[in-house]
Amino acid sequence: MALHSGRHPQDAVTERNGNPFATVANPALAQQLAPPLRALADDPVPADVAYQLVHDELLLDGRSRLNLATFVTTWMEPQAARLMAECADKNMIDKDEYPQTAEFERRCVNMLADLWHAPDPDDVVGCSTTGSSEAAMLAGMALKRRWAARQPAGSTARPNIVMGSNVQVCWEKFANYWEVEPRMAKLHGDTLHLTAQDAVALCDENTIGVVAILGSTFDGSYEPVAEIAAALDDLQERTGWDIPVHVDGASGAMIAPFLDPDLEWDFQLGRVASINTSGHKYGLVYPGVGWVLWRTRSALPKELVFDVSYLGGSMPTFALNFSRPGAEVVAQYYTFFRLGREGFRAVQQAARDVAVHLSSGIEATGQFRLITRGDQVPAFAFTTAPGVTGFDVFDVSRVLRERGWLVPAYTFPADRTDLAVLRIVVRNGFTMDLANLFLADLNRMLSYLKDRPAGMPPFPRATAFRH
């Protein structure tokens, strides 16, 4: 085929193959292009150019390893990343086509059942999810359906669910989406999470369950699950109301089994009907993967489980999502296989040691008061000390960002909105060395904040933090 003057031979190859990826390398092309903002561009661009422009824009994101706001895993071993890349094209729902990925999911459920002291592992039912938010929705639906099955025909009673006002927003979403009245215990004084007394006071015959959090996102503290369960046992004796407990262990359910083995919070307590956790938090896997388990099959109403005939096989499913990647489930299995109990204990203990070291160093500045110390979930909250008036937590958050440290500042929920704090989350990969660098930067920035000229305007406030 004759080529027109001025055309590159590769253009003809592209036309013959019909392949827009076969394009010419133009060394100045990246400087001449702007990424599309509102509509697709007319023409394709070379892969290297598209990569470079997207890569360059992502430089404006914060560094994930210095993000002390998130509970989500920001480091995995190269071998895990390689496995995830090899499984990126596998659809988790295609269990008949990817039976070994489905088998890994089953093995992970079994391991969690063992880890959380299920009385009969063969009677446990559970699944992977996209994260704890989906897991919470599934657990909440099961609680509501179990409550509805006990109602007399024609009942107009409205269900409610009891929790502390420090719950993660997914529980507020559940109550809204599934038309359940949220009854939230207010925070008061130094009590910054749900107590047994407050939980029981909000319960009645239409309470579908009580949500207890093992690792509050606000300050990393454990709620007293055993005390709440005991109080509900006593309530049942007095009233006949059999109210189950769901443990939101998004973070703590992968900490307590290894670092607090004597703590009673899981299926050892007969009132705990279900538990969720985030594999992509202290399960040490990149996002997004979560897990939800019910102590017995009877705790998950059968009408929520669908048998789907799909691509040649029959498959029970009870997740909200259908298509989703299998890579994260494979990575979770790899992590369980790789670390075992002792490996998990070592990793989580290292994170807790760094958290306590950091909180002690922050307290030693004399400028802050600790709300928690990081000795439960490796996360802690702190506020300015009494008498500190030259700056507040929002100022500190702003100056830390100038060095790349992402530390959120926010106020507690209703009835304690007077308490504004900073929160630091320590994850695997945040070393003692990084902790000491953080403390050095914090002390330098405190000197700057204390020496600011009188009357200097405050730093602009960032948008509100939502856990």
- Residue 334 is classified by DSSP as H
HEC-encoded secondary structure of 128-145? EECCHHHHHHHHHHHHHH
Contact 139, 246 (CB under 8 A): yes
Q: How far apart are CA 4 and CA 1, in angstroms?
A: 10
If you compute the radius of gyration of the chain from its CA atoms, what whole number of angstroms results?
26
Task: In whole angstroms, give the CA distance from residue 364 to residue 381.
Answer: 15
Among residues 356, 386, 354, the alpha carbon closest in space to that of 369 is found at: 386
Sign of CA dihedral 138, 139, 140, 146: positive
Distance, in Å, from the CA atom of 116 to the CA atom of 275, rounded to the nearest integer, reads 9
| Residue 423 host element (H or E) | strand 420-425
Residue 257 confidence (pLDDT): 98
Taking the CA atoms of 88, 114, 210 and 260 in sequence, report the sign of the dihedral they define. negative
Instruction: Enumerate the domain spans of the chain.
Output: 9-60, 78-336, 350-450
Asked if 124 and 294 count as a contact pair (C-beta separation under 8 A), the reply is: yes
Of 409, 380, 406, 370, which is closest to residue 393 (Cα–Cα)? Answer: 409
The pLDDT of residue 22 is above 60 = no
Residue 340, CB half-sphere, CA atoms under 13 Å: how many?
1
List all residues 6 or more positions away from 184 whose beta carbon is below 8 Å from its beta carbon: 162, 163, 164, 165, 167
pLDDT tens by residue, 429-448: 999 999 999 999 999 999 98
Average pLDDT rounded to a whole number, residues 359-376: 98
pLDDT at residue 3, as a whole number: 43
Give the bridge partners for 406, in sequence order.
67
Tokens of 309: 């005939």
pLDDT tens digits, 100-133: 998 999 999 999 999 999 999 889 999 999 999 9
78-336: what fold?
A: Aspartate Aminotransferase; domain 2 (3.40.640)
DSSP assignment, residue 305?
-
pLDDT of residue 415: 85
Q: Is 82 helix (H, G, I), strand (E, B) or coil?
A: helix
pTM equals 0.89
SS3 label, residue 349 = helix
Q: What is the pLDDT of residue 11?
A: 53
Q: What is the CATH number of domain 350-450?
A: 3.90.1150.160
Per the structure block, which two tokens stand in for 279? 């594999």
The token pair at 137 is 């929705």
Instruction: Give burial (CB, 10 Å; 0-12/13-18/19+) of 55.
Output: exposed
d(CA 132, CA 162): 18
Specify the DSSP element, H or E, that contains 277.
strand 272-278
pLDDT at 21 over 80: no
Residue 5 is predicted with a pLDDT of 47
Q: Which amino acid is at 339?
A: L
What stretch of H or E contains 102?
A: helix 99-115
CA angle 217, 223, 229 (to 5 degrees): 140
Tell me what the mean pLDDT of segment 334-340 comes to. Answer: 98
Strands (E), 234-271: 245-248
Q: How far apart are CA 228 and CA 129, in angstroms?
A: 27
